[in-house]
Amino acid sequence: MNRTVGVSTGDQNRALALSTIAFTACFAVWTIFSIIGVQIKAELGLTDTQFGLLVGTPILTGSLSRIFLGIWTDQFGGRVVYVTVMVLAAIATFLLSYATTYETMLLAALGVGLAGGSFAVGVAYVSRWYPSEKQGTALGIFGAGNVGAAVTKFVAPFVLIAYGWTMVAQAWAVALIVIAAIFWFTTKDDPALVERRRRGERARGALLSLEPLKRLQVWRFALYYFFVFGAFVALALWLPRYLVGVYGMDIKTAGMIAAFYSVPASIFRAYGGYLSDRYGARTIMYWTFGVSAVALFFLSYPATDYVVHGIDGDIGFSMAMGVIPFIVLIFTLGFFMSLGKAAVYKHIPVYYPEHVGSVGGLVGMIGGLGGFVLPIVFGMMNDLTGIWTSCFMVLFLLVAIAFVWMHVSILVMERRAAAESLKSLPELPEMQPIHEPHHGPALRPGEAPKPAGAAAGARPAPAE
């Protein structure tokens, strides 16, 4: 239950604004290898497999850490956990600049990945400041911190060219420490934690925090997020390679298109939160899955040559998607993914108000793992099928499964609710017997009617 009574609007705005800024910085650090990894690969002579592991390690550890960071947030409060995560990630990022071997860089990457775990902390912390009818908007604004990936892609190359990759790591680390300090000194503990301390209540144990994870509904939410967030991260990483291979773009142009894809797919998450509050998260999820399925169906269709045997000979024609339609569809897909990311996290504080950290952590972990697993699957599909659009075929299958599971689950819930409503209806009163009208002689005033069948002049029976 959210205890927001007595919380000022200023406290709410401060908590939301600083949490969003902190998450933006954490996301920028989390994706730092997307830029500096290229130069590290050249310096160490890494293979593509080694490079992929180095780039993916922060994504993996940032995803896996979300569940226990979410639990700790429920237990100890988001403020202290948030600052601790930022400080540890900043230390690991700074030490990365002193790593000289591949093994030490992988070790540092484990610590850098903690920055990605900050999402579960921020969701639990921000949701505590707002009533349920405003949580969608608030969490949508917070989630827009995904734009930190675009910040790294836009800014880091300039620092890299001028000073080298080590300066990028050091600058990002210092920036994260500064933001952590500002966050600590300008925010307050969340209202739920303050109320718990006032009552002298102890923090909930870890096993109790994990209790909701037994419910299938939580894993259904995780599948939603695996698509709307995991696929978003995967496409952001995969698009440059796809654009170069399919449309023959140079890496600079392909990289810029991928960066521009990341921006609206992050910023419109705030709008998704607003829509979820106004129209309901369920409605937004229907739109997200429906439009995504249509877009992915067209994106999945490979370039194909057709031959029709006509009257006067064969007629050949081709079907292929040009670069402009592709960009329009991919941006449309990114837009609805951003709405879906907000809608998924609108569900969590509504269904699990006392377990936002643990449930949000699990959902975020599964979603983050999508960003790690899906690019590998994309590569495997390319090798197995030899079709560039096979990556979109995988995503179409994924969204179709999520869409069907959601719809069936909602139908079951509605039927169960209807059955419960019928059971709660009051019972109808028993029908009273209808008395036949009196057909005997008219009664004088004050005279009682004679019992049926009584003979004229018979004496009445004595009273019982």
* Structural domain spans, the chain: 9-308+315-418
Q: What percent of the chain has pLDDT over 90?
A: 25
3-state secondary structure of 127: helix
Look at residue 167 in the predicted model and tell me its pLDDT: 94
371, 234 in Cβ contact below 8 A? yes
277, 133 in Cβ contact below 8 A? yes
Q: pLDDT per residue over 260-297, tens digit each?
A: 777 766 778 778 888 888 888 889 999 999 999 999 99
Separation in Å, CA 124 to CA 19, 42, 77, 356, 454: 11, 40, 9, 5, 83
Look at residue 462 in the predicted model and tell me its pLDDT: 42
Closest CA to 85 of 120, 110, 60, 117: 117
140: tokens are: 């949508």
3-state secondary structure of 272: helix
- Over residues 230-244, mean pLDDT: 81
pTM listed for this prediction: 0.69
342, 276 in Cβ contact below 8 A? yes
Q: Which residues contact 289 (CB under 8 A, 6 or more apart)?
A: 340, 399, 402, 403, 406
pLDDT at residue 438 above 60?
no
69, 124 in Cβ contact below 8 A? no
Look at residue 105 in the predicted model and tell me its pLDDT: 92
Q: Which of 223-232, 321-330, 433-442 has the lowest mean pLDDT?
A: 433-442
Closest CA to 138 of 152, 122, 151: 122
pLDDT at residue 118 above 80?
yes
Length of the chain: 464
CATH topology of domain 9-308+315-418: Growth Hormone; Chain: A; (1.20.1250)
3-state secondary structure of 461: coil
Task: State how far Cα 93 lies from the chain centre.
Answer: 26
